[in-house]
Structures are given as C-alpha cells and as structure tokens.
Chain A
Amino acid sequence: MADTADRVVGGLRTDGPTVLAAYGALVRSRVAAQASYRTSFVVDIAAQVLIGLVEFAEVYVVFTQVSDLGGFSFAEVSLIFGLATAAFGLADLVVGHVDRLPFYVRTGQLDAFLLRPLSALGQLVTSDFSLRRLGRVAFSLLVLVIALAAVDINWTPARVALLLSTPIAGAIIFSAVFVATSAVGFWLVDGTEFANAFTYGGNYLSSFPFTVFGSIVRRTFTFVIPVAFVAYLPALALLGRDDRMGMPAWLSWSAGPVALVAWLVALLVWRTGLRHYTGTGS
C-alpha cells in the first residue's frame, strides 16, 4: 500500500490542467450538493452567525468587568478577535474536515482515494466543503469592520496591504495546522482529539492578545504552532504598537512567509503519515 500511495501522490501531479479540471469538478459538485437544499442551507448559515455571536460574547463579558485586558482595549481585542476568527473560519471551511481522517480510514474511503490518480490530501479536502461556515466568516468580518472603525489607525498603503492580506495568510496558517495535526490520525486512530488542542485551541488563543499568556504558551503558539502570526502580531503593526514582551517588530509583517513554511511542514508531516499508513487490514 505504501508504494501505491507514493506513486499516486508523487507521480501524477505533473498533469496540470487535467488535474485542475478534476478538482474543479469535485468542488463544483460539493457546492451544488450543499446549495440544492435551499432552506436547510440558509438555516445552517444563520446558525453559524449565531455561533460567531456566542464566541464574541466571551470577549464582551470580559470587558463588562474591566476596561483593558493585557494592555488592550475592547476595540483592540475585537480587532484581534475579528482577524483570528475570520482566518480560522476560512480554514475550517476549506480543510476543517481533515480532522475526520480516522473516519475516512475506518470506512475505507481513504483506500478509494489512494486508488485514484489524484493526491489523497487533495481529494480529502475537496470531498467536503462546509459552505455554511461562510456565516461565521461573515460575522467575523462584521466584528472586524466595526473594530477598525473604533480603533485609531494611522493608515498607510503598507498597513492597508497588511490588513487585506492578513486573513488570507491566517487562513493558510490555520489550514496547515489542521493538516499537520490531523495527520496524527495515521498513527493514532483514536487520538485525533490531540489535533483539537492546536486547531480549536489555536483559534481560542489567537482571539486574545498574547500579552495575557505565560512565556511557554506564547513561544509554543508563535514558533511551533505559528498562530501568533494570524492576528496578534499583525494587529500590533496595524495599531503601531510594540510587543510588550519584546518580539521584534518585523515579525508583525511576516505572516506570508510563515504561512509558506507552515504548509511545507504540514505537507511533510502528511506525507510521512501517509507512508506509514498500511490500510485497516480488513
């Protein structure tokens, strides 16, 4: 099985246009499937907006008690929250279901993927898009827009570019975290909850200023799981502030390269996991 996996993953990728057309067809079929049940789709999207609202309630409750958190105002934390949850929502929409890898392993669906001339990861990702998560992303963007109106930003072309690119770079970083941690499922079929600590935990933590965390947590979620680059560090550059804990200012502008490195590492982990995979044995 390992040999087949290698050949399929590595070998047939060069066939550019055909492969893209195949993925295009897969994605269109998923979109059509979800949009065809109109009422159910609208209800799902509305539920996702409410989910965003409940997440934001924690920030709101905290600021009914205090006027600053770790040196940041309500509007500034809302800005961080908006950036983080928009990025997470986008990543969850596109690749969130990879953490169900054990389900694909158990049902034999992964074996079916391996037999087709497309990469297993590519098929897994395109097998299910959670379009309903657009509701959550929309709510995050709403919070972001209101927060941007409420904070004081000295706008420059560089800051505008940073603001526009941050949710995309953030989504790429979160997708890498999803893929890398879900690959744990190749070794531990019952242990995929581990991934939650870094995916959902990363979303939770990156919605708040990093000044509230201790140094071990801060370093882990900056240099190992790089979610500091999703919201907190770019927000510092937007607000024109320095990190109280002494992170160099250029890190605030580095989400793009970090996203690239994160994906390379994620693909490496995924490929190692896939090589380790030998089927369910049934």
Chain B
Amino acid sequence: MSLAAARPAAALAGAGFRRWSTYRQAAVAGVFVNTVFGVIKLSILLAVADSAGGTVAGYDRIGLSTYAWMSQGLIAVVVINAWTELADRIRTGDIAVDLARPVDLQLAWLAADLGRAVWALLSRAIVPILFGAALFGFRVPGNPLVLVLLPVSITLAVVVSFACRFLVNLAAFWLTEIRGLVTFYFLVAGLLGGHLVPVQLFPGWLQTVAYATPFPAIIQWPIDLVTGQATGWAVGGVVAAQLGWAVVLLGLGRLVLSRATRRLVVQGG
C-alpha cells in the first residue's frame, strides 16, 4: 500500500475504533454473553471428554478449556454475524456516494473493521479469556514462534472474516433481502470454522468439507496455535494459509464489486 493510501486507511481505522468504543454498555453486555456461552460450550465439551475417557481428538481438559475460551474471546474480534451496513447502503442507493469517494471502497471498510477489531480485542476478548483461565485453566503456549505469529494470525483472521462478510453484503446488489443469507452464513461459518466444536472432533468427511472453506482460517487456526494443535512447521503453515485465503477472498470481493457496479443504476435524484 502506498503512503497516499495508508493515511486515510489509518484515519478510518482510528474512526472505527472510536466509533465502537462509544458503546460501553454493549461491550459489557457482550462480555457477559460470551462468558455465559463459554461456560455452556465448555461444559458440553468436558462431558464429551469424560465419556471418551479423559481426552478427545488430542484435547485434554485444559486443552478444551483453552479452546473454549480462546474461541469465545476470538469470536468477538473476528465477528461472523450481523454486519449488513454495506448491504443497507447498497439497498438504499447510498453506495453511489461511497463509490464516488476518492478512497477505495473495500480498503476503507477493511480499515474501519480493523479499528473495530482492536477495540473488540481490548473490550470483549480479554475478560472472558481471563475469567475462563482463572476458573477452568488455560495452556499458555511455550513456543516463542507462536507468541510472535499469534498477533499476525489474529489480524489475518479478521481480514479473512471481513473479506467473507464483504462478499455476503455484496449479494445485496442481486437480492433485495439478505437477512436469511446473513443468518445462514453466521451458522455455517460458526460450525465449519470450529466455533461450536473444534474441527478436530468432526468426522472425516465433515473435516474435509470444513478445510475446503475459509472458515477455519477465521476461528480454528488461530486457536490451534495457542492450544498446540498446530506445532512445528504447521505454525508457519497456518499463517501462510490464512494469508492465501485473505488474498484470494479480497480479490474475489473486488471482482464481484466491479461486476456489480458496471450494471449499477441508482434511482432518484
């Protein structure tokens, strides 16, 4: 990115951070909800481990706790649900104004989303993880490479998540109502991404399906770095694969956007 593009991007990221940081009540409520869901999810997973004789698919009790609380913290940062602002602007025709602006539409929204993610990390992710670690245990990764690559991996997870949500929103160019699509995306991405149950617990065929989608890059892979499911060369492989998905999906988003805007007609004066 050239310096000329970097300055507005940084400003937009800052604006994204400040915009979301005004919703303090929502952040407290979000932490509470994520923590309650974490307790429910971990209880179910621990019962699975109990039935399986202590460990399941390479996860012991501490491993499952680490997974559950990382996934609860991370989900608030990467978010897979409910972002329809772009679709709303497409439906109302405001998109025409956005396209006339001298900043790249996709990069502008990406920058704002990264700013939001930083605020979410500070306000919504850390508390559930600390709560879970204190009550149920947490395995801090010993590998220094993991500690270096984890921030990169989480950033790429946000970028891949954004690229997917950008594509879902672009569907509004063809469909007037994308509410059903957004809900469906949330559930499929959550399941195949490993938010409800770790992908390693899936039966073989479902693992194949999951790894053919970008969703594990959003949730499961960054968690694998922490739980130690990814070790050695796999640590670098995870980040490289995330980078690959980010490039492919952002590119696809640009392609779809250019196709959509070629036939865009906005009514009214």
Residues of A within 8 A of B (CB): 40, 43-44, 47-48, 50-51, 54-55, 57-58, 61-62, 64-70, 132, 188-194, 196-197, 201, 204-205, 208, 211-214, 217
Contact = CB atoms under 8 A, between A and B. Distances in A.
Interface in B65-88: none
B213 interface: no
Contacts of A212: 43-44, 46-47
Interface residues of B, number: 38
A240 to B, nearest CB: 22
Contact of A192 (B29, B183, B202): B29
A211 B50 CA distance: 12
B11 interface: no
A40 B176 CA distance: 10
B104 to A, nearest CB: 31
A69 B51 contact: yes
B26 A54 contact: no
Given A65-B201, A213-B43, A190 B23 contact: yes
B40 A62 contact: no
Contact of B197 (A61, A70, A194): A61
A196 B33 contact: yes
Contact of A191 (B29, B46, B176): B29
A274 to B, nearest CB: 20
Interface in B191-210: 191, 196-197, 201-203, 206
B246 to A, nearest CB: 25
Nearest to A211: B47
Given A65-B48, A192-B29, A51 B201 contact: no
B128 to A, nearest CB: 12
B47 A61 contact: no
A161 to B, nearest CB: 31
Interface string B28-54: 111011001101100110111001100
A66 B51 contact: yes
B95 interface: no
Contact of A47 (B46, B57, B180, B197): B180
Contact of A58 (B32, B52, B177, B191): B191
